[in-house]
Amino acid sequence: MCGRFAQLIELEELVDSGLISDLSLTNINEVNKYLSEKQIRPTQPCVVFTTESSSKEASASIARFGAKVKLGGNSSPKLLINARAETALDKPLFHKSLMTRRCIVPVSGYYEWSELHGGKRVPYLIHPQGNQIAKLAGILLRDAVSGGEGVLVITTDASQSVSHIHHRQPLHLSQQETRMWLSRETSTKDISNMLIRSDQVKLHPTQIASSYLGDREVSLAEASTSEYTEQLRLF
């Protein structure tokens, strides 16, 4: 599961990561304003990258983390923040977005909590080795309440380096996979292969002080709220 992440990113790092070729983005000032967040929670704005059909160059936009969607019947919209890589293509809710509305969420790391004996939870910041930008696979969905854009992070089985903290992790993409994920010409087979392959990005978990996040009680209790319980049950 990926419930919080950081976007502490310098503009030059976007170029170094291969997401963009230079700093000529038309909305570069707006993008830069949002790339200084050490903790992005569900419903908060974040920077995502997409590719328009008329261009092979990635463009940046702002989307809310998560989207409220109707899951059928007369039920109230539920906030979803993740989609499981193993089943996303088979779910009507996600299939169209996987075909036409894929995006990249650049992060400096994401947060996870490990439960110790006695119920105490310890927070970790998990990031690629070398502290380079992580490029998370995402999809865009229309929020049923606000009508705005929401981004869901694709998750997969945790790699060996972080499985002792949590059994799920975001799907990290290599530079070549990033180009394929954003391309409008990528086949369904290639999308499926990226979703089911073993994660190749080496991750490094760093234990952090609870005070770093500034809201210890909320941080540790968040996963037990009804919205997050529903998220885990469904996806």
CB 103 within 8 A of CB 151: yes
pLDDT of residue 215: 54
3-state secondary structure 169-219: EECECCHHHHHHHHCCCCCHHHHHHHHHCCCCCCEEEEECCHHHCCCHHHH
pLDDT of residue 199: 61
In terms of DSSP H, where are the helices of 41-150?
Answer: 92-100
pLDDT of residue 54: 59
SS3 category, 63: strand
> How far, in whole angstroms, is CA 186 from its chain's centroid?
20
Write out the chain's pLDDT in tens, 235 residues. Answer: 789 999 999 999 999 988 888 887 888 899 999 999 999 999 999 999 998 765 677 899 999 999 999 887 788 999 999 999 999 999 999 999 999 999 999 999 999 998 876 778 889 999 988 878 999 999 999 999 999 999 999 999 999 899 999 999 999 999 899 999 999 899 999 999 999 875 667 899 999 877 777 654 344 334 333 334 344 444 4
For 29-33, which contacts have Cβ atoms below 8 Å and span 24 or more sequence positions?
Answer: 30/62, 31/60, 31/62
State the CB neighbour count (10 A cutoff) for residue 153. 25
Q: Does domain 5-234 have CATH number 3.90.1680.10?
A: yes
Q: Where are the domains of the chain?
A: 5-234
pTM to 2 decimal places: 0.88
In terms of DSSP H, where are the helices of 40-172?
Answer: 92-100
pLDDT of residue 210: 73
> How far, in whole angstroms, is CA 160 from its chain's centroid?
20
Question: pLDDT for 118-174, tens place per residue?
Answer: 778 889 999 988 878 999 999 999 999 999 999 999 999 999 899 999 999 999 999
Q: At what angle do helices 188-196 and 175-182 cross, to 10 degrees?
A: 140
